[in-house]
Amino acid sequence: MSFSFDHLFQGFVTALSLQNLMWALIGCFIGTLVGVLPGIGPASGIAILLPLTTVLPPTSAIIMMAAIYYGAMYGGSTTAIVVNIPGEASSVPTAIDGYEMAKQGRAGPALAICAISSFVAGTLGLIGLTFFAPLLADVAVVFGPPEYFALMFMALTLIISLSGRALLKGVISMAIGLTTSLIGQDPLTGAARLTFGFPQLLAGVDFISVIVGLFAISEVMINVESRISAISQKIGNWMPTWADIKQSFPAMVRSSGIGFFLGLLPGVTPSVTTFVAYDVEKRMSKTPERFGKGAIEGVAAPEGANNATSTAGFVPLFSFGIPTAPSMAVLLGGLMMYGLQPGPMLFKENPEFVWAIIASMYIGNIMLIILNLPLVGMWARICVIPFYILGPMIVFFSVLGTYSVRFLAFDVWVMTLFGVIGYFMRKFGYPIAPMVLAAVVTQMMETSLGQSMLMSQGSLLILLKRPISAVFMILAFLSIGRGIWIQMRTKAPEIAIEETD
Partner 1 sequence: MKTIRQADIIVGCFLALLGLFIVYAASNIRIGVERALSPRFFPSVLGYTILVCGAGLALKSWRFKGEDPAIQWPDRQGLRTIVACLALLSAYIFLMKPLGLPIVTFLYVTANIWYLRPEKKSVAILSGIALGIISYVVFIHYLQLSFPVGFLLERLGLEG
Partner 2 sequence: MKKFAVALTVSLVACAFVLASVAGAAEFPRKRVTYNICFNPGGESDITARLQEQTLKKYLGQDVSIQYKIGGGGAVCWAELTKTAPDGYTIAGHNLPHTILQPMEMGDAGYKTLDLKQVYMFEITPNVLMVRKDAPYNTLKEFLDYAKSKPAGSITVGGSATSSANDLGVAMLNRATGLKLTYVPFTGTGAAVPALLGGHVSALMSYSPMCIQYKDKFKFLGMMSEKRMKVTPDVPTFKEQGYDLVEGAYRGVAAPPGTPDAIVKVLADAFDKTMRDPEVQKRMDQYGFETLYMGPAESLALVKKKTAEYEVIMKELNRVKK
User: Contacts with partner 2 in 399-418 (CB under 8 A)?
Assistant: 406-408
Minimum distance from residue 142 beta carbon to partner 2 (Å)? 6
Instruction: Look at residues 310, 248, 242, 333 and name the one whose alpha carbon lies nearest to residue 75.
Output: 310
Q: What is the distance between the alpha carbons of residues 395 and 411, in angstroms, rounded to a whole number? A: 14
Write the binding mask 131 to 170 for partner 2: x where contact by CB under 8 A, - elsewhere.
Answer: ---------xxxxxx-------------------------
193 binds, among partner 2, partner 1, none (CB under 5 to 8 A by kind): partner 1
457 contributes a contact to partner 2 by CB under 8 A: yes
Minimum distance from residue 115 beta carbon to partner 1 (Å)? 26
Burial of 492 (0-12, 13-18, 19+ CB in 10 A): exposed
321 contributes a contact to partner 2 by CB under 8 A: yes
493 contributes a contact to partner 2 by CB under 8 A: no
User: Contacts with partner 2 in 278-307 (CB under 8 A)?
Assistant: none
Q: What is the distance between the alpha carbons of residues 213 and 38, in angstroms, rounded to a whole number? A: 10
3-state secondary structure 165-219: CCHHHHHHHHHHHHHHHHCEECCCCCCEECCCCCHHHHHCCCHHHHHHHHHHHHH
416 binds, among partner 1, partner 2, none (CB under 5 to 8 A by kind): partner 1
Opening angle at CA 311, ends 268 and 398, nearest 5 = 65
| CB-nearer residue toward partner 2: 341 or 487 | 341
Minimum distance from residue 18 beta carbon to partner 2 (Å)? 27
408 binds, among partner 2, partner 1, none (CB under 5 to 8 A by kind): partner 2
3-state SS, residue 233: coil
Q: What is the distance between the alpha carbons of residues 93 and 139, in angstroms, rounded to a whole number? A: 26
495 contributes a contact to partner 2 by CB under 8 A: no
- What values do phi and psi take at 184, rounded to 5? 105, -160
Sign of CA dihedral 143, 466, 161, 420: positive
50 contributes a contact to partner 2 by CB under 8 A: yes
- What values do phi and psi take at 144, rounded to 5? -105, -175
Q: What is the distance between the alpha carbons of residues 476 and 154, in angstroms, rounded to a whole number? A: 5
Burial of 415 (0-12, 13-18, 19+ CB in 10 A): buried
321 binds, among partner 2, partner 1, none (CB under 5 to 8 A by kind): partner 2
**Residue 457 DSSP symbol:** T
CB-based contact 352:10 (threshold 8 Å):
yes
Binding residues vs partner 1 (CB under 8 A): 48-49, 51-52, 168-169, 171-172, 175-176, 178-179, 182, 186, 189, 191-194, 196, 217, 220-221, 224-227, 386-389, 391-393, 395-396, 399-400, 403-404, 407, 409, 412-413, 416, 419-420, 427-429, 442, 446, 449-450, 453-454, 457-458, 491-495
- Per CB under 8 A, the segment of 119-127, 358-366, 412-420, 453-461 that binds partner 2 is 453-461
**Count of all residues that appear for the chain in the document:** 501
| CB-nearer residue toward partner 1: 392 or 481 | 392
Contact positions toward partner 2, by CB under 8 A?
A: 43-44, 47, 50-51, 54, 140-145, 184-185, 187-192, 199, 202-204, 206, 266-267, 316, 320-323, 326, 328-330, 332-334, 336-337, 339, 341-345, 348, 406-408, 443, 447, 450-451, 454-455, 457
